[in-house]
């Protein structure tokens, strides 16, 4: 036994991050501060509860477990799943389907995650015991790819929403493997109403006869009519896949129509409105499809699953069964509607005419500039970020290039988790509107083409930054524990940049990057 090595290595095993790698520790602390001090309106982001993050960082991170839990165990009720005497005796006698041994406790995690997911998505059409769940996909993109691999042959036709009008990259974009492996037909919105026209989608399906139809979006802000899509799929003999990556939490809470019992396959991510870890889940009510999907995930696309993620998903879906989670999801939708109305009354157009989900997209073309150049989403998002409001650029109907997107996408999960209401949605819209209408768009010639840019009066940006800071100070949940200055934050008291030579002297002492940390 190498006692000396063991005694020395225990320092690495047991010491905290700040002692082992202070650089990474500082970066994490800066990120924590950013998340507390800024207004985050990214619809695909939410704040995972401490219990979820604790499970994600557990010792299950150390375990490799290719394969799946015992079939018998996956059909047990949750109470029997947690009967350790029963399950471990069975495991010792019959082992399991995995390629590694010593994974008995992984079985408990994965099975609990599956059963809790099924319970959350059960409805009047389908009971929990008829829902087959795979919690192993590493992301929504991986889940989509696994479904395609399970249901299709290369060269088959898929039909999803156009990327520029609200669809997702993995629904057939030429930039994605889905657009290279399969023939793609895209549907969009009506050019007048900016809403889905199901008669037109039916005509498109009948013309091209897709093998798979995908419903579910990343920026189209209205709930799909699942029954209409089922009718279209049946008319052409297609599978129907519901991609509810964005709206899964709303579905669980009854704040959004459920595709369970209507679609052949449902996929969703676990880190958006579910408020869990980064991962994905595939559901089906067809046992034969479930077997094909399982084989497509492993060994078809992935190897060893992230077993620590099973723990975090199980915790997230225990939380999702609570009344407070359901109320949160309904409030998320209410806040999105309130935010949309607040912009509309200030004269800024909301793409697609509004929202009944957790997100909305602003049409920046409705903001007229005296420079004669259009305001682009990238420029708007950059300046709003400096002011303390985080959004993302997004294409809207009529756009042809992502770099020149005319929209910015907003979502309300994060701000709702922090306790904000309709009154604060109006205030956020007012701050954002002041910034947006004061941006002076222009262009300059880059190396290859013209680049959109924007200018704004410093006083406008300073005022917006102070208003965001004042709003954050009133937020009761997840308050900032400290306040860094420059270069992390600008235009706020205490954030003035240091004189050049003073800053150089500090950096020479190895302190310049961290001298504002407590």
Indicate whether 108 and 164 sit together in one domain.
yes
Q: Where are the beta strands (DSSP E) in 172-247?
A: 183-187, 212-215, 239-243
User: 405 and 337 in one domain?
Assistant: yes
**Boundary of a domain, candidates 257, 289, 321:** 321
Structure confidence at residue 518 (pLDDT): 41
Residues 333 and 299 both lie in one domain: no
Cβ(55)–Cβ(89) under 8 Å? no
* 241 & 266 share domain: yes
Judge whether residue 501 has pLDDT over 70.
no
Quote the distance between the C-alpha of residue 384 and its chain's center.
20
Residues 155 and 282 placed together within one structural domain of the fold: yes
Q: Which residues contact 467 (CB under 8 A, 6 or more apart)?
A: 427, 431
In a domain, 107, yes or no: yes
- If asked whether residues 300 and 371 sit together in one domain, one would say no
Q: Does the pLDDT at position 355 exceed 70?
A: yes
**Mean pLDDT on 487-515:** 56
**Residue 159 covered by a domain:** yes
Catalytic residue among 116, 272, 393, 409: 272
> pLDDT tens-digit profile of 409-445?
999 999 999 999 999 999 999 999 999 999 999 998 8
Q: In what order do the strands lie in the sheet with 157-161?
A: 132-134, 280-284, 265-269, 239-243, 212-215, 157-161, 183-187
The answer to whether residues 310 and 345 belong to one domain is: no
pLDDT at 516: 45
77-79-82-83 Cα dihedral, nearest 10 degrees: -100
- 277, 306, 321 - which closes a domain: 321
Lowest mean pLDDT among 191-195, 274-278, 313-317, 482-486: 482-486
pTM higher than 0.85: yes
C-beta separation of 266 from 283 below 8 A:
yes
The enclosing H or E element of 161 equals: strand 157-161
Is 352 a known active-site residue? no
pLDDT band at 153 (very low <50, low <70, confident <90, very high): very high
499 pLDDT above the threshold of 90? no
CATH number where 145 lies: 3.40.640.10
Determine the pLDDT at residue 214: 96
Count CB atoms within 10 A of the CB of residue 81: 21
How far does the chain reach from its first CA to its final CA, in angstroms?
Answer: 42
* Residue 243 designated active-site: yes
* Domain enclosing residue 154, as ranges: 59-321
Is the pLDDT confidence value at 483 over 50? yes
Residues in a beta bridge with 95: none
pLDDT band at 77 (very low <50, low <70, confident <90, very high): confident
Q: How far apart are CA 347 and CA 26, in angstroms?
A: 42
Which residue among 269, 273, 395, 433 is the active-site one? Answer: 269
Residue 449: pLDDT band by 50, 70, 90 thresholds? confident
In-domain check, residue 103 = yes
State the pLDDT at residue 494: 60
Indicate the range of 63-72, 408-417, 459-468, 488-497 predicted with least confidence: 488-497
More confidently predicted of 335 and 500: 335
Q: Which of 253, 242, 49, 226 is nearest to 140 (CA)?
A: 242
CATH code of the domain covering residue 453? 3.90.1150.10
Known catalytic residue at 100:
no
Whether 411 and 359 have beta carbons less than 8 Å apart is answered as: yes
Catalytic residue among 64, 90, 198, 478: 64
**% of the chain beyond a pLDDT of 90:** 79
Out of 66, 334, 434, 515, which one is annotated catalytic?
66
Q: Is residue 445 part of a domain?
A: yes
In a domain, residue 300? The reply is yes
190 domain residue, yes or no: yes
Q: Is the separation of the CB atoms in 196 and 222 below 8 Å?
A: yes
Residue-wise pLDDT tens digits, 269-300? 999 999 999 999 999 999 999 999 999 999 99
| Phi/psi at 161 (5° precision) | -75, 140
- Is 284 considered catalytic here? no
Q: Quick one: pLDDT band at residue 75, thresholds 50, 70, 90?
A: confident
Distance CA 218, CA 43 (A): 9
Least confident of 54-68, 164-178, 267-281: 164-178
The reply to whether 163 and 251 lie within a common domain is: yes
- pLDDT, mean over the chain: 92
Identified catalytic residue from 34, 228, 278, 382:
278
> Residues 6 or more apart from 386 whose CB is under 8 A from it?
461, 465, 490, 491
User: Is the confidence at residue 347, as pLDDT, over 70?
Assistant: yes
Catalytic residue at 21? no
User: Is residue 331 among the annotated active site residues?
Assistant: no
- Domain presence at residue 307: yes
**Is the per-residue pLDDT at 506 higher than 70?**
no
d(CA 109, CA 65): 12
CA 62/CA 29 separation, integer angstroms: 25
Total domain count, the chain:
2
Query: Which pLDDT band holds residue 248 (cuts at 50, 70, 90)?
Result: very high
pLDDT for residue 498 is more than 60: no
Q: Comparing C-alpha atoms, which of 281, 274, 205, 276 is closest to residue 243?
A: 281
Judged by average pLDDT, the poorest of 158-167, 227-236, 275-284, 496-505 is 496-505
Are 407 and 332 in the same domain? yes
In this predicted structure, what is the pLDDT of residue 5? 83
Q: What is the C-alpha separation between 135 and 280, in angstroms, rounded?
A: 6
Tokens of 145: 């790819």
Q: Could you give phi then psi for residue 301, rounded to 5 degrees? A: -120, -35
Catalytic member of 110, 162, 194, 243? 243
**Closest Cα to residue 44, out of 289, 244, 230?**
244
User: If DSSP codes are grouped into helix, strand and coil, which group holds residue 480?
Assistant: coil
Produce one character per residue of 150-187: b if its CB has 16 or more CB atoms within 10 Å, e if not. bbbeeeebbbbbbbbbbbbbbbbbeebebbebbebbbb
For range 473-501, the mean pLDDT: 74
Of 266, 299, 321, the last residue of a domain is: 321
Contact in structure between 221 and 351 (CB atoms under 8 Å): yes
How high is the pLDDT of residue 388? 97
My answer on whether 405 and 369 are in the same domain is: yes
Residue 309 has what pLDDT? 98
Query: 191-232, pLDDT tens digit by residue?
Result: 999 999 999 999 999 999 999 999 999 999 999 999 999 999
DSSP annotation of 168 reads: -
Measured between alpha carbons, how far is residue 71 from residues 91, 133, 136, 464 in Å? Answer: 12, 12, 15, 57
In this structure, is residue 41 part of a structural domain? no
277 with 396, same domain: the answer is: no
Say whether both 229 and 345 belong to one domain.
no
């Amino acid at each position: 036994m190498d006692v000396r090595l063991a005694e020395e290595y225990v320092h690495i095993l047991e010491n905290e991050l700040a002692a082992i790698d202070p650089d990474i520790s500082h970066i994490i602390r800066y990120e924590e501060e950013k998340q507390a001090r800024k207004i985050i309106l990214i619809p695909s982001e939410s704040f995972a509860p401490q219990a979820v993050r604790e499970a994600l960082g557990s010792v299950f991170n150390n375990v490799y477990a290719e394969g799946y839990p015992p079939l018998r165990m996956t059909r047990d009720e949750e109470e029997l799943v947690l009967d350790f005497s029963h399950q471990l005796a069975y495991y010792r006698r019959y082992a399991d389907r995995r390629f590694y041994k010593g994974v008995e406790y992984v079985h408990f995690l994965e099975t609990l995650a599956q059963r809790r997911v099924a319970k959350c998505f059960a409805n009047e059409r389908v009971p929990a015991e008829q829902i087959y769940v795979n919690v192993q996909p590493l992301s929504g993109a991986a889940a989509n790819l696994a479904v395609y691999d399970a249901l299709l042959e290369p060269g088959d036709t898929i039909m999803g929403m156009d990327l520029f009008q609200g669809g997702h990259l993995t629904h057939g974009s030429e930039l994605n493997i889905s657009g290279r492996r399969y023939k793609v037909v895209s549907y969009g919105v009506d050019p007048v109403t900016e809403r889905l026209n199901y008669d037109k989608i039916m005509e498109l399906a009948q013309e091209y006869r897709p093998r798979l139809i995908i419903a579910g979006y990343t920026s189209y802000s209205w709930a799909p009519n699942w029954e209409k899509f089922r009718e279209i799929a049946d008319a052409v003999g297609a599978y129907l896949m519901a991609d509810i990556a964005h709206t899964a939490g709303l579905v669980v809470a009854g704040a959004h129509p459920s595709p369970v019992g209507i679609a052949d396959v449902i996929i969703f991510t676990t880190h958006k409105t579910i408020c869990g870890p980064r991962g994905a889940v595939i559901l089906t009510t067809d046992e034969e499809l479930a077997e094909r999907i399982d084989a497509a995930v492993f060994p078809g696309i992935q190897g060893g699953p992230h077993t620590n993620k099973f723990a975090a998903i199980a915790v997230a879906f225990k939380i999702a069964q609570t009344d407070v989670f359901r109320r949160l999801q309904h409030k998320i939708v209410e806040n999105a509607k309130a935010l949309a109305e607040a912009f509309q009354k200030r004269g800024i157009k909301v793409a697609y005419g509004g929202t009944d989900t957790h997100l909305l997209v602003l049409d920046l073309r409705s903001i007229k500039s005296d420079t004669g150049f259009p305001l682009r989403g990238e420029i708007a998002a950059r300046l709003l970020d400096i002011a303390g409001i985080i959004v993302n650029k997004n294409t809207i109907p009529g756009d042809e290039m992502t770099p020149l997107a005319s929209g910015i996408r907003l979502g309300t999960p994060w701000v709702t988790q922090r306790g904000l209401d309709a009154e604060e949605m109006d205030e956020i819209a007012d701050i954002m509107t002041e910034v947006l209408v004061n941006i002076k768009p222009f262009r300059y010639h880059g190396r290859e083409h013209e680049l959109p840019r924007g200018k704004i009066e410093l006083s406008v940006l300073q005022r917006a930054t102070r208003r965001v800071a004042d709003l954050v100070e009133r937020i009761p949940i997840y308050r900032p524990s400290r306040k860094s200055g420059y270069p992390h934050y600008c235009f706020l008291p205490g954030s003035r940049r240091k004189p050049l030579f003073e800053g150089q002297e500090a950096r020479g002492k190895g302190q310049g990057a961290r001298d504002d940390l407590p």
